[in-house]
Chain A
Amino acid sequence: MPGKLKVKIVAGRHLPVMDRASDLTDAFVEVKFGNTTFKTDVYLKSLNPQWNSEWFKFEVDDEDLQDEPLQITVLDHDTYSANDAIGKVYIDIDPLLYSEAATVISGWFPIYDTIHGIRGEINVVVKVDLFNDLNRFRQSSCGVKFFCTTSIPKCYRAVIIHGFVEELVVNEDPEYQWIDRIRTPRASNEARQRLISLMSGELQRKIGLKVLEMRGNAVVGYLQCFDLEGESGLVVRAIGTACTLDKLSSPAAFLPACNSPSKEMKESPLAHPPSHGCRSTHNSPIHTATGSRLTQNFSVSVPTLIYTGMGSGSAGKEGGPFKALLRQQTQSALEQREFPFFTLTAFPPGFLVHVGGVVSARSVKLLDRIHNPDEPETRDAWWAEIRQEIKSHAKALGCHAVVGYSESTSICEEVCILSASGTAAVLNPRFLQDGTVEGCLEQRIEENLPAGCGFCHIPYDELNMPFPAHLTYCYNCRKQKVPDVLFTTIDLPTDATVVGKGCLIQARLCRLKKKAQAEANATAISNLLPFMEYEVHTQLMNKLKLKGMNALFGLRIQITVGENMLMGLASATAVYLAALPMPGGIQIAGKTPSDGSYEQHISHMQKKISDTIAKNKELYEINPPEISEEIIGSPIPEPKQRSRLLRSQSESSDEVTELDLSHGKKDAFVLEIDDTDAMEDVHSLLTDVPPPSGFYSCNTEIMPGINNWTSEIQMFTSVRVIRLSSLNLTNQALNKNFNDLCENLLKSLYFKLRSMIPCCLCHVNFTVSLPEDELIQVTVTAVAITFDKNQALQTTKTHIEKSLQRASTDNEELLQFPLELCSDSLPSHPFPPAKATSVDYSSFADRCSSWIELIKLKAQTIRRGSIKTTVTVEKASPMGEGNFRNRSAPPCANSTVGVVKMTPLSFIPGAKITKYLGIINMFFIRETTSLREEGGVSGFLHAFIAEVFAMVRAHVAALGGNAVVSYIMKQCVFMENPNKNQAQCLINVSGDAVIFVRESELEVISTQQPTANCQQSCAGGEVTT
Chain B
Amino acid sequence: MDPLRAQQLAAELEVDMMADMYNRMTQACHRKCVPPHYKEAELSKGESVCLDRCVAKYLEVHERMGKKLTELSLQDEELLKRMQQGT
**Pair from one complex:** no
